[in-house]
Chains A and B, each alone.
Chain A
Amino acid sequence: MSISLPKAFNEFDEARQKGFIDVKELKEKGKNIVGTYCVFTPWEIILAADAIPISLCAMSDEPIPEAEKHLPRNLCPLIKSSYGFAITDTCPYFYFSDLIVGETTCDGKKKMYEYMNDIKPVHVMQLPQTTIGDDSYNLWRNEMVVLKERIEKEFNVEITDENLKQAIKARNEERRMLKKFYELGTLCPPPITGLEILKVLYGATFKTDKNEQNQTIDNMIKSVMEEYNNGVRKVSEDAPRILITGCPTGGATEKVIQIIEENGGAVVCFENCTGVKGNDTLVNEDIDPIDALTDKYLNVACSCISPNDNRIELLDRLVDEYKVDGVVDIVLQACHTYNVETYRIKKFLNENKNIPYMSIETDYSKSDIGQLQTRISAFIEML
């Protein structure tokens, strides 16, 4: 029996709300919960301790006014939102987390973690600023070990290499499934809309039962392809194909995807951390697990790493694989590294790939919807 599409998609959409009950039940069963914010967090180490890693709420406008009582107004909305959820007890995952793991990916976040530590125990991993050189590698490798030791101590468990290897396998399996799903976007026309892709990718970060998630996605792919092969077309073949890059999207930034698709564009690929960035490369299953994790998590194509050539290489490949007509870079207000990088990305896309590019600086409010409408529809008219 084929799963009806809207229901399956909505299930992911509702994952955050439903998660309240899931996570409460897990706590009642005695499970430890570790809250995370970023694609740099090695979830495998948490899983290896038989704890549950979960993404924390960070993409809504609601808690921002509360956060601004402590944090500057001119700060990235993702940081303000994360902190706001934390101090207002409105994120079930944060509420039930036994430990929060953060990384020094940017100045705003690392200073915010200092304040957050007053509310919950926060473990911050010191991320090197570059992938170049042995010092960076060794520093990051050591941070993996320190995290492992902290979790062992915190939860009174021992994490063996065997535990790590199993966790790596499980995470790779999840990545393969997500990849198989978002790669539906390579089809011309895509069998699903960009908003649907995003809902599943974003929703998956709030799911606790990954076996069930893999199964649901697998069924979803099957039923989508069945309909597609029967000639169902949700997206016009003429719709310009858009790749999204830049800061994390989901939650309130869905507005950009919505406007793109309402104006005739089709979002076929999410290069950012909600999508390809975290799932594109797997963790090597054949070498020492800590080395394998270090290697994987040092090479995330994030703008906080300098130089960030990995992002260029990734974009280069994705633009071809997804037959992209235009690239939209979403930059959250006050995210300096992504904002500065827009110049390089534009130059690369315009000059090396001959692809039109636009950068959108936005936040989680609705105040720029009118402007976005005009700018995005003009961009699509141009393609």
Chain B
Amino acid sequence: MYSIGIDSGSVATKGIVFDGQIIEHIIIPTGWSPKNACEEVLLTLLDKTGIKKEHAFIVATGYGRVSIDFADKTLTEITCHAKGAHFLNNDVRTILDIGGQDSKVIKLDNNGNVVDFLMNDKCAAGTGRFLQVMINLLGSDIKDIDNLTKGAVPESINSMCTVFAESEVISMLANGSSKESVASGILHSIANRIVTLASKVGIEEDIMFTGGLAQSNELTNIISNKLKKKVYTSPLSQLNGAIGAAVIGLNKYKRLKSRM
């Protein structure tokens, strides 16, 4: 029995093959066509594992899930993130997720079911997209964010709106602020946003930070300092949504089989 979870986000499309354990995984850029990216992820996973498509139950999530016509089931990334985090660490009760175009805080019960959640409404403030725009402005790469900001004294970025923050950053640089302190200020601004969201939902331990930005140790530390609580991350956190989708898929598959 196999399940395949595919999480098609705005930046990357992730997929895993699962039979209770993660057998294979892949992360590719989504590019302009989520449909193509999802097909490529599926074919690569099938190819690498030698599993036939008919023998796997496929669950799709992420904003690109609507373009996946081969999925047996689609679910929102909120439900999948909850199950994924629960699989990675079943002590997790609060998830902070900063994705490419949205950020969310999810509260779960001890079975990994969603109890409550909040998601940013409408705009890109505090999301991965926000960071990307700012980092491009500084002529840096998002991968170097930790090196760039280590030990820097953060400037205070006041604007929440991505477009206004861009103007603010340009003015700061014109006034002689260093690239490092501006970059650090940007991370603080993102952290403030998710911490405010979290305080509305109410934080319960353990806390896990997921999504692409969770790869930044600096950002993780800033969030942890602001919450005054330990924040757990996983090297597999970018795959979290796909893992959750696959976990749900396998359970569903087992239930369907047992009824036959």
Interface residues of A (CB under 8 A from B): 350, 356, 361, 367-368, 370-371, 374-375, 377-379, 381-382
B218 at the interface (CB under 8 A from A): no
Assembly CA distance A371 to B99 (angstroms) = 13
A selection of 24 A-B contacts at a CB cut-off of 8 Å is A350-B116, A356-B116, A361-B121, A368-B121, A368-B122, A370-B63, A371-B102, A371-B119, A371-B121, A371-B122, A374-B63, A374-B77, A374-B102, A375-B121, A377-B76, A378-B77, A378-B79, A378-B114, A378-B117, A381-B75, A381-B78, A381-B114, A382-B114, A382-B117
Chain B residues near A377 (CB-CB < 8 A): 76
Give the distance to chain A from B198, nearest Cβ to Cβ, in Å: 16
What residue of chain B has the Cβ atom nearest to residue A362's Cβ? B121
Assembly CA distance A183 to B25 (angstroms) = 51
Instruction: Give 1 or 0 for each of B111-125: 1 = CB within 8 Å of chain A CB.
Output: 001111101011000
Contact flag A375-B113 (CB < 8 Å), given A381-B78, A382-B79: no
Assembly CA distance A172 to B193 (angstroms) = 50
Assembly CA distance A67 to B121 (angstroms) = 25
CB pair B119–A374 under 8 Å, yes or no, is yes
CB pair A382–B122 under 8 Å, yes or no, is no
Give the distance to chain B from A367, nearest Cβ to Cβ, in Å: 7
Chain A residues near B122 (CB-CB < 8 A): 367-368, 371
Give the distance to chain A from B28, nearest Cβ to Cβ, in Å: 22
Assembly CA distance A371 to B104 (angstroms) = 12
Assembly CA distance A375 to B117 (angstroms) = 9
Assembly CA distance A377 to B77 (angstroms) = 10
CB pair A381–B76 under 8 Å, yes or no, is yes
Measured as residues with beta carbon below 8 angstroms from the partner, the interface class of chain B is 10 to 19
In terms of DSSP, what is the predominant structure of the interface of chain A?
helix
Query: What 12 new A-B contacts, CB under 8 Å, besides A381-B114, A382-B78, A382-B117?
Result: A361-B121, A368-B121, A374-B63, A375-B121, A377-B76, A378-B79, A378-B119, A379-B117, A381-B75, A381-B76, A382-B79, A382-B116
Query: Using a Cβ cutoff of 8 Å, how many contacts connect chains A and B?
Result: 41
Assembly CA distance A367 to B121 (angstroms) = 11
What residue of chain A has the Cβ atom nearest to residue B114's Cβ? A382
Assembly CA distance A374 to B114 (angstroms) = 14
CB pair B78–A374 under 8 Å, yes or no, is yes
List 5 tightest A-B contacts by C-beta distance, closest first: A378-B78, A378-B76, A382-B114, A381-B79, A377-B76
What residue of chain A has the Cβ atom nearest to residue B200's Cβ? A343
Chain B residues near A375 (CB-CB < 8 A): 119, 121
Chain A residues near B119 (CB-CB < 8 A): 371, 374-375, 378
Chain A residues near B114 (CB-CB < 8 A): 378, 381-382
CB pair A374–B76 under 8 Å, yes or no, is yes
Assembly CA distance A319 to B115 (angstroms) = 19
Chain B residues near A379 (CB-CB < 8 A): 117
Give the distance to chain A from B3, nearest Cβ to Cβ, in Å: 17
Task: Name, among B63, B76, B115, the residue most crowded by chain A CB atoms within 10 Å (CB to CB).
Answer: B76
Assembly CA distance A36 to B121 (angstroms) = 32
Assembly CA distance A72 to B63 (angstroms) = 33
Task: Name, among B75, B79, B115, the residue most crowded by chain A CB atoms within 10 Å (CB to CB).
Answer: B79
Assembly CA distance A350 to B200 (angstroms) = 14
Contact flag A382-B102 (CB < 8 Å), given A368-B122, A374-B77: no
Give the distance to chain A from B100, nearest Cβ to Cβ, in Å: 13
Give the distance to chain A from B93, nearest Cβ to Cβ, in Å: 15
Give the distance to chain A from B123, nearest Cβ to Cβ, in Å: 10
Which of B77, B113, B121 is within 8 Å of A382, CB to CB?
B113
Assembly CA distance A350 to B115 (angstroms) = 10
What residue of chain B has the Cβ atom nearest to residue A375's Cβ? B119
Assembly CA distance A368 to B76 (angstroms) = 16
Chain B residues near A371 (CB-CB < 8 A): 102, 119, 121-122
Chain A residues near B78 (CB-CB < 8 A): 374, 378, 381-382
Assembly CA distance A379 to B114 (angstroms) = 9
B131-160 at interface with A (beta carbon < 8 Å): none
